[in-house]
Structure 1
Amino acid sequence: MEQHRLEKCNKLREMGLNPYVNSHIITSTIANILEKYSSSETELPESEEFSAAGRILAKREFGKTAFLTIRDRSGIIQVYIKKALLSEEEFEVYTLTDIGDFIGVKGTLFRTKTGELTIRAFHYRLLTKTLRDLPEKFHGLKDVETRYRQRYLDLIVNNDVKEVFIKRSQIIKEIRDFFTSCGFVEVETPMMHSLVGGAAAKPFITHHNALDMQLYLRIAPELYLKRLVVGGIERVFELNRNFRNEGVDTKHNPEFTMIEWYMAYADYHTLMDMIEELVTTISQKINNTLQIQFGDLNIDLQRPWARLTMAEAIEKYGNISQDEIADYEKAKAAAEKLHIQVDSSWGHGKIISEIFEITAEEKLINPAFIIDYPKEISPLSKSKESNPELTDRFELFIAGMELSNGFNELNDPVDQEERFQKQVDSRNAGDEEACMMDEDYIRALEYGLPPTAGAGMGIDRLVMLLTNQVSIRDVLLFPYMRSED
């Protein structure tokens, strides 16, 4: 708290004025005024008074006159202050205001010698007195730690940050509009689960006191959403938070936003086509282009996108032929050459996936679907009819990031129970990311899940991509931070 600001605040109270007014109704935004009168060719009304309210960003004082710059949610405008035009009390209130304070003004419009549209204030009101100085004359907050921890301050002084989050809101709206236009129903499913399932991840654990039971913050809504398809909601989606007890880096945050959707009588090829349409439609609407910049990368979103099997991607980007990873022993030898420590519990498919991550993943700059994942690492995916060791599954990579994961859903309850059991065995052997046995989900499958395809997409990573933010923290309003203590 700055002492000089507190003293001014107390002075206002001594004058009988509230430095934190109860309300101030505005009739128009700054953008409304600018839209109508900013053009130098537009004649300004001589006697009509306009009101505006906002935060003071700058003050330039010249004795008994001053120019202020104020900003509201819509824009910035200049205000001209002259002692002779205000009441004695209003001008004294002006002298007690600082950069950062919120004010309301009312007056006529004029243009300065440089042509800047300006409000000539006849009425001046302090709305909120601030008790801390803004950093560096509002030119920008550079310290990353402060920006993330005090996001409110970041938004005040870095307008481009606010634009990112406005775009994020627009992207989410476009996603919802896209799915509802395709006949999908949006739902909400539980955030706290009694079992861990739907993905491979370590959960956060909590406890329900009244029921005296352990619960897990959900790592994915998948098993609940597929229950709804069993129940007849054949096109369903949820856009909400997931929680995974994992590390924090430029691509990961323990709490993140995803959309998952399930579509009866469709397959994973249908979903890949849908994702191409979704992402290109949003990019065109938000950025007005399919050629986007992401850090130092130039990315072309033009359709169609590449589709490669995992083995083909390893061959293309890792210069390891498909024959060199054709069986367990060959794949193990190839992995060890890459200094991958092969765990004794890994099967052939797990080794191939590790080789893919090392050799190919970060090289997938333009959009690419990697398809036909090993069954071993796809416990909820339907096996390929042509090769039961593989599944009808894809993952989408752009800029070396995984953006989406989808597959034909396993709907054979006997097969699903066997795969759950393998996950249970892995969990008992120490794998904290393995799923638990979900007997109710097996029961749901026994009532019949029609041929269904489902997918998930990380909203935060999509926003990163479409707003050119290379860290996930820059698209989360309040990213996870260590305690200040």
Structure 2
Amino acid sequence: MPAPDSWRPAASLETLRRRAQLLADIRAFFGARGVLEVDTDLLGPAPSSDPQQHCLDVTLPSGARRYLQPSPEYAMKRLLAAGSGSIYQICKAFRAGEDGPRHRTEFTLVEWYRLGFGYRALMDEVAALVCGLLGRPPAQAFSYGELFERHAGLDPLAASDDELWQRVAMAGIEPSPALRAAGRDAALDLLLTRLVEPAIAPLGAVFVFDYPASQAALARLRPDRPELAERFELYVDGIELANGFTELADADEQRRRFEADNRARQAQGLPPVPLDEGLLAALQHGLPDCAGVALGFDRLLMLACGLSDIAALRV
């Protein structure tokens, strides 16, 4: 028997009003910059290939299988290739198995792409939006390598796999065999969450940039230092808020990365996933030079309202 008042939304009226104001302010921000709002399908023909992301799937009456998208990225890039110009979207996204104080299976993203921008220029725009909305001082920026050397005591690029896992053990973490099998990036992620993120939390708004090339995802590599990806993340009070990069426009390289993800999935006992051939065809047609970013709107709202649990936003 459900509790008598289980029907009640968790979000307060004050939270809902703050949410509406944030959405209006975001639309005004992009409207002033001439960025077009778009709306793409939530169901796509392929899921994310990232072994760390698990997508929900749906079987249509026709028997076709579709996937609730963890991000509108693939569809928005097809629009970019078709000549849309700079675009943004505010939409629902879905990731299975992500429930906790800062995670929900269903959540809201603000995602945008700016033609002619590189990742450093986009960092400036992200800071203008987020720090303006939250009334925060300007964001600080540190390279991924600098933070690891300062707070984990090692060079994340030069350290061997054994050295990384030894540092994980020194941090009091006992990884599962499956996690160790995921390789050095899994060790780096553990050190990031256990040692780096707590260290930058008191600094307010902080960008971390120049991630290892192995964590490039859909990012372009730096031409002068191909061991680094032109990627950044924004943290506010230790909460990961945004992930962006200069976009990879090479269809062949993107296919290689998708296929490498599928090999990594199989090594971890996960099934391979179909590739988004529509995205690959769009890249083959030609993606304009651009940078893009996904910003977690629910976490932004949590910060704006001083909330510690994303469940307080549930309606």
Q: Give the alignment's TM-score, normalised by structure 2.
A: 0.89
Structure number with larger C-alpha Rg: 1
- Correspondent of 1:307 among 121, 141, 144: 141
Gaps of 5+ in 2: none
User: CA separation of 1:375/1:243 partners in 2, compared to 1, >3 Å: closer, same or farther?
Assistant: same
User: CA separation of 1:401/1:433 partners in 2, compared to 1, >3 Å: closer, same or farther?
Assistant: farther
Do structure 1's residue 362 and structure 2's residue 198 form an aligned pair? Answer: yes
Which amino acid in the other structure matches residue 423 of structure 1?
A: D
The question of whether the paired residues in 1 share the 8 Å contact of 2:55 and 2:69 is answered with yes
Distance apart, 1:357 and its partner CA: 1.6
Do structure 1's residue 207 and structure 2's residue 64 form an aligned pair? Answer: no
- Correspondent of 2:159 among 319, 322, 326: 326
Name the CA distance, whole Å, in 1 between partners of 2:196 and 2:142: 11
Name the CA distance, whole Å, in 1 between partners of 2:28 and 2:74: 24
Which amino acid in the other structure matches residue 359 of structure 1?
A: L
The question of whether the paired residues in 1 share the 8 Å contact of 2:266 and 2:272 is answered with no
Name the CA distance, whole Å, in 2 between partners of 1:462 and 1:352: 26
- Correspondent of 2:262 among 424, 428, 432: 424
Residue 151 of structure 1 is matched in structure 2 by 8
CA RMSD between the two structures = 2.4
- Correspondent of 2:243 among 391, 405, 409: 405
The question of whether the paired residues in 1 share the 8 Å contact of 2:109 and 2:294 is answered with yes
The question of whether the paired residues in 2 share the 8 Å contact of 1:310 and 1:353 is answered with no
User: CA separation of 1:206/1:335 partners in 2, compared to 1, >3 Å: closer, same or farther?
Assistant: same
Partner SS for 2:114: strand
The question of whether the paired residues in 2 share the 8 Å contact of 1:373 and 1:390 is answered with yes
Higher RCO by CA contacts (8 Å cutoff, separation 6 or greater)? 2
Name the CA distance, whole Å, in 1 between partners of 2:127 and 2:232: 13
User: CA separation of 1:167/1:306 partners in 2, compared to 1, >3 Å: closer, same or farther?
Assistant: same
Q: Percent identity?
A: 27
Return the structure number with greater helix share.
2
Name the CA distance, whole Å, in 2 between partners of 1:380 and 1:402: 18
Which amino acid in the other structure matches residue 206 of structure 1?
A: V
User: CA separation of 1:409/1:324 partners in 2, compared to 1, >3 Å: closer, same or farther?
Assistant: closer
Residue 114 of structure 1 is matched in structure 2 by none
Residue 84 of structure 2 is matched in structure 1 by 233
Range with greater deviation from structure 2 (216-225 or 349-358):
349-358
Residue 385 of structure 1 is matched in structure 2 by 223
The question of whether the paired residues in 1 share the 8 Å contact of 2:49 and 2:258 is answered with no
Which amino acid in the other structure matches residue 108 of structure 2?
A: T
Residue 437 of structure 1 is matched in structure 2 by 275
Range with greater deviation from structure 2 (197-206 or 218-227):
197-206
Q: How does 1:42-53 map to 2 (within 5 A)?
A: none
Over residues 294-333 of structure 1, what are the superposed CA-to-partner deviations in whole Å (9 max), with x where a residue is unaligned?
xxxxxxx211x11112222223334x13389533343233
User: CA separation of 1:325/1:359 partners in 2, compared to 1, >3 Å: closer, same or farther?
Assistant: farther
The question of whether the paired residues in 2 share the 8 Å contact of 1:198 and 1:219 is answered with no
Gaps of 5+ in 1: 1-144, 156-160, 284-289, 291-300, 478-485
Over residues 249-293 of structure 1, what are the superposed CA-to-partner deviations in whole Å (9 max), with x where a residue is unaligned?
11111110001111111011111111111122223xxxxxx3xxx
Do structure 1's residue 175 and structure 2's residue 29 form an aligned pair? Answer: no
Distance apart, 1:413 and its partner CA: 1.2
Distance apart, 1:427 and its partner CA: 2.5
State the aligned residue count.
307
